[in-house]
């Protein structure tokens, strides 16, 4: 563990950005080699739009970096937080920290965005993407990026995670989010095996189905354990029957243009056809879509 601790203790901002860029390049290549869907879209134009939101996310994260660094240093120096309740070897400390940071800083805020109407309106632009690929991973409205940065700060305060662990978590989060959004097809046995530990591509694609109830499942970012534990896990019989996007924003001029996307949270709320608040679509998902749930 010592080399990992040393590297992430001293990692530079450009190195963290390089991790993001390398991940995008690798998954872009894989999307061309083993695509899940043959998406009929202008890949570069789509990437340009999503990378704009990636840039706004980076700016907001850097703005919060000072607070996160100070909170982490304060807690780690005084050993305040959940990670210090019992002595742990370094590998167990790292694993426990990653699990807790993922739960609070990713899974819980993601679940909350599907429950609170005004938060959902910011999260909409992520779900409105009808061509989900690796660039979709960081397609977040600047307002949502603030929510997630606040919950990362909260997670650091509650756990007392040292800065090396925070940077390790954020690096894994970026790469694995690109991985599970990437338009790639893994052998089904391999994807199912992966999904017992981390969020696999097929597992997360279920979450991007345009309609309820599937939109309200599989909130995980790194670890799949939280969806299985809290009963929000679902799978489908045929992943290729999924339809991406949001059925309340079906028009391309609304879900594929920067101006309308930036203004989406400030427009009047559009209830889904099924009438249930909290997610992207109606309760009328196709019969047979859900293979298993809550298991």
Each residue of 215-241: pLDDT tens digit? 999 999 999 999 999 999 999 988 888
How much is the average pLDDT of 177-184? 96
What was the pLDDT predicted at 21? 92
pLDDT at 279 over 50: no
CA distances from 261 to 71, 124, 129, 166, 221 (A): 33, 9, 10, 30, 23
User: In 3D, which of 290, 34, 51, 77 has the Cα closest to residue 187?
Assistant: 34
pLDDT at 138 over 80: yes
pLDDT at 294 over 80: no
Distance of CA 101 to the CA centre of its chain: 13
HSE on the CB side for 168, CA within 13 Å? 23
Each residue of 91-117: pLDDT tens digit? 999 999 999 999 999 999 999 999 999
How much is the average pLDDT of 113-132? 94
Tokens matching residue 39: 């998406």
- Residue 290's pLDDT band, with cuts at 50, 70 and 90, is very low
pLDDT at 58 over 80: yes
- Torsional sign, CA 4, 8, 10, 16: positive
What was the pLDDT predicted at 37? 87
- Residue 273's pLDDT band, with cuts at 50, 70 and 90, is confident
What was the pLDDT predicted at 141? 96
What rounded mean pLDDT belongs to the chain? 88
How much is the average pLDDT of 238-245? 89
What was the pLDDT predicted at 250? 84
Q: Give the residue, 172 or 39, on which the prediction is more confident.
A: 172
How much is the average pLDDT of 16-33? 92
What was the pLDDT predicted at 289? 32
Q: How far apart are CA 198 and CA 188, in angstroms?
A: 15
What was the pLDDT predicted at 182? 96
Q: How far apart are CA 119 and CA 217, in angstroms?
A: 17
Q: What percent of the chain has pLDDT over 90?
A: 72
pLDDT at 122 over 90: yes
What was the pLDDT predicted at 274? 58
236 touches 188 (CB < 8 A) = no
Q: Give the SS3 label for residue 97.
A: helix
What was the pLDDT predicted at 145? 96
pLDDT at 252 over 90: no
Q: What percent of the chain has pLDDT over 70?
A: 93
168 touches 8 (CB < 8 A) = yes
């Amino acid at each position: 563990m010592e080399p990992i601790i040393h590297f992430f203790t001293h990692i530079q901002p450009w190195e963290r950005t390089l991790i993001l860029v390398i991940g995008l390049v690798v998954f872009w290549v894989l999307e061309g080699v083993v695509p899940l869907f043959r998406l009929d879209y202008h890949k570069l134009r789509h990437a340009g739009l999503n990378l704009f939101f990636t840039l706004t996310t980076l700016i907001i994260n850097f703005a919060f970096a000072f607070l996160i660094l100070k909170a982490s240093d304060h807690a780690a120096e005084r050993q305040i937080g959940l990670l210090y309740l019992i002595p742990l070897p370094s590998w167990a400390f790292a694993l426990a920290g990653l699990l807790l940071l993922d739960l609070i800083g990713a899974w819980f805020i993601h679940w909350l965005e599907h429950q609170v109407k005004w938060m959902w309106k910011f999260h909409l632009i992520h779900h409105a993407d009808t061509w989900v690929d690796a660039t979709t991973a960081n397609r977040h409205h600047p307002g949502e990026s603030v929510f997630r940065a606040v919950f990362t700060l909260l997670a650091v305060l509650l756990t007392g995670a040292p800065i090396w662990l925070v940077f390790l978590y954020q690096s894994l989060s970026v790469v694995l989010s690109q991985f599970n959004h990437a338009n790639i097809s893994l052998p089904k046995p391999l994807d199912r095996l992966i999904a017992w530990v981390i969020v696999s591509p097929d597992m997360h694609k279920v979450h991007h189905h345009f309609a309820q109830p599937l939109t309200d499942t599989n909130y995980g970012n790194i670890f799949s354990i939280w969806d299985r534990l809290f009963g929000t896990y679902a799978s489908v019989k045929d992943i290729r029957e999924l339809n991406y996007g949001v059925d309340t924003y079906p028009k391309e001029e609304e879900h594929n243009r920067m101006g309308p996307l930036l203004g989406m949270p400030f427009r009047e709320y559009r209830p889904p056809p099924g009438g249930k608040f909290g997610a992207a679509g109606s309760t009328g998902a196709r019969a047979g879509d859900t293979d298993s749930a809550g298991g």
